[in-house]
Every structure is written in C-alpha cells, then in structure tokens.
C-alpha cells in the first residue's frame, strides 16, 4: 500500500480555496503557505519513504545551509 502525506503549513487560516484551474490550492486569506509531499510505502515487513530531497539538496544552494556539508 502507498500513501501520499501532504502537509500544508500556513501563516494564516487553515481554510483553503481551489482556484478555477482545478489544480491550484491557496489559503482563503492568501497568506504565505508551504506545501510538500512524501510518498510512503507500507510493506509486509517495513515502511519505506519513497520520496527524497536529494536532487534539490545537490542542485540548489541556500544561504542558510551549512557550508560544511
């Protein structure tokens, strides 16, 4: 079995609106939000996180990141 866990972290309300394009979701107060997804497989003997942020970590630099990595 596979689950997609998709938290949305909002500065404002938890109330969301779907835009007319049928895809875009935003908060009703239009305050900044972040949304990400992890896909998790539930196997007979273990669970496994299928998503990774490795591509982003290897290809993008952030000012706040520890330079020793």
With respect to residue 38, please indicate whether it lies within any of the assigned structural domains: yes
What is the residue range of 44's domain? 1-19+31-69
- Nearest CA to 12 out of 35, 24, 29 is that of 29
Query: How high is the pLDDT of residue 53?
Result: 80
Look at the chain and report how many structural domains it folds into.
1
Tens of each residue's pLDDT in the chain, 69 residues = 999 998 889 999 999 999 999 988 889 999 999 888 889 999 999 999 998 888 777 887 766 656 555
With respect to residue 5, please indicate whether it lies within any of the assigned structural domains: yes
- Nearest CA to 49 out of 36, 34, 66 is that of 36
């Amino acid at each position: 079995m596979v689950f997609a866990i998709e938290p949305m972290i909002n500065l404002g309300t938890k109330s969301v609106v779907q835009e007319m394009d049928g895809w875009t979701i935003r908060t009703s107060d239009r305050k900044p939000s972040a949304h990400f997804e992890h896909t998790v497989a539930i196997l007979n003997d273990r669970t496994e996180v299928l998503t990774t942020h490795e591509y982003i970590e290897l290809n993008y630099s952030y000012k706040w990141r520890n330079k020793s990595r």
